[in-house]
Amino acid sequence: MEKVVETLCTPITHECDVLVVGGGVAGIAAALAAARQDTKVILLEKQFMLGGLATAGLVTIYLPLCDGKGHQVSFGIAEELLRLSIKYGYEDRYPTAWLENGSMEERAKKRFEVRYNAQLFAIAAEQLLLKEGVTILYGTSACSVAMASDKISAVIVENKSGRTAIKTKSVVDATGDADICVMAGEKTALFGPGNILAAWHYYETGNGYDLSMLGYAEVPQEDRTEETKPLISRRFQGVDGQELSEMMQLSHKRVLEEIVKKQQENPAYMPVTIATIPQIRMTRRIVGGYTMETSDDRKEFEDSIGMIGNWKKRGPVYEVPFHALYGSRVKNLITAGRSISASDAMWDVTRVIPVCAVTGEAAGVAAAMTDDFESLSVAKLQKKLADNGLKLFYHEL
C-alpha cells in the first residue's frame, strides 16, 4: 500500500483531569460521575448531539433496571438517567409501579423500563452535564494518542479548529468500539459473528408516531419470526470506514423500501426521522482482567462496581467486576459501556443502556481517583459508589 509521510507538531489546546471519549450513555455517565468528584472533565463527541445509539441511533428503549421479578438491580446514575429521559414526556412503557410506589407484585409484572423521546433526552443530558461543569466538544474525533511509557499523556483530536491535542491524567474509552484502546496499544477483541443490518425509523400515520424496528436484534435461528429475521444475509464488523458507509447506504435503501410499501397500504404513512449513525451494536472490546460470561448469573465478585439485569429474559442478575473495565498494558485507560470485557454471548447483555450507565459511573469515579487503575484501592472506589446510592452485591438485594 502506498503511504504518505506526515511530519506533525500538534499544539496542546486543552488540559483536564479526566478525558471521556464518546458521548453515548456510557460517556454521559462517566463524565457526570467524574465531574461530581470535583475534577476537570472534557467530553468528546464526534456527532453534534449526545446519546449515541440511544438518540442519534434511535435505539430509544431504556431497557430494564430490574431483574424481571420485582427487584431493582441497577441504581445511581443508571436510574437518574432513566428519569431524565422522560423528564419532558415519554413515548411508551411508562413504569408506573416503579416510579409511583407500586407493590412488589406490580413491579414483577412490568419491568423497570421506558421508551423515551430521543431529542429531548439528548438535550436534557447536555444541560445536566453543563450544569455539572463538564466541557463538551462536539464534532470532535479522537484520531491518535501520545504515550508516556505505559500511560496516555494526551489524545490527539480533529475538529473544525484543525488537529490539536488534549493533555489528560486519565482517559475513559466510551467510544463503543474500543477506539482509544486500539490507538494506545491495549489488547482488544472483535465480536465474532458481526452485526445484522438495522433500519430503524420513526413514522407518523395521523394517529401519533411510532418506531419501526427493522432489524430488531440478534435472534436465535430457532426463535426467528418473519419480523425478526435478518433483513439481508451480510454481517457487519463495524470497525471499517468503507464497510460502515456501505451499511448506512443499505440501511437507507431498506428504510425507503419499507416506507414505499407502507404508504401503499396506508397513504397517511409518513417517515418522521431516520437513524443518523450506524446502528452497530457489538464491534470491538477491551480484553480486560476478567471477561464476563452468561454463566456469571448471581456470581459475586470482590471488586464488583454495580449490578445489571438481563434485558432478554427475567431472572438473571450479574455483578460487574471492576477488572472487566481495564486491561494490563495502559495504566490510565479504562472502558465503559459496549467496550467492557465480555464474551460474545454476554456482549448482547452488556451492550445496553443500563449497563452503559452502571459501568460509566464506575469508570468516571475511578478516573477521577487515579491515573493507574490496576493499583486503585477497590474498597475506596466501592465506598464512593455506595455513597452515590449504588448497590454493588447480589446479597444486598
Name the band, by pLDDT with cuts 50, 70 and 90, for residue 38. very high
Name the band, by pLDDT with cuts 50, 70 and 90, for residue 221. low
CA distance 327 to 262: 48
CA distance 382 to 364: 13
Name the band, by pLDDT with cuts 50, 70 and 90, for residue 7. confident
pLDDT value at residue 226:
59
How confident is the model over 157-183, as pLDDT tens digits? 999 999 999 999 999 999 999 999 999
Looking at per-residue pLDDT, the higher value among 104 and 5 belongs to 104
pLDDT value at residue 91:
87
* pTM score, whole prediction: 0.96
Name the band, by pLDDT with cuts 50, 70 and 90, for residue 105. very high
Alpha carbons within 13 angstroms on the beta-carbon side of residue 394 total 17
CA distance 223 to 216: 13
Strands (DSSP E) found in the chain: 12-21, 41-45, 61-62, 90-92, 114-116, 135-138, 141-148, 151-159, 162-173, 188-190, 201-204, 209-212, 270-274, 284-286, 304-309, 317-321, 333-335
378-387 vs 353-369: helix crossing angle, rounded to 10 = 120
Long-range contacts of 95-100 (CB under 8 A, 24+ apart): 98/65, 98/66, 98/72
pLDDT value at residue 79:
98
As a whole number, mean pLDDT of residues 92-117 equals: 95
Q: Residue 309: name the closest of 320, 301, 317 by CA.
A: 317
Q: Residue 18: name the closest of 115, 141, 134 by CA.
A: 134
Domains, the chain, ordered by start = 12-191+283-396 (3.50.50.60), 201-274 (no CATH)
CA distance 373 to 325: 9
As a whole number, mean pLDDT of residues 219-230 equals: 61
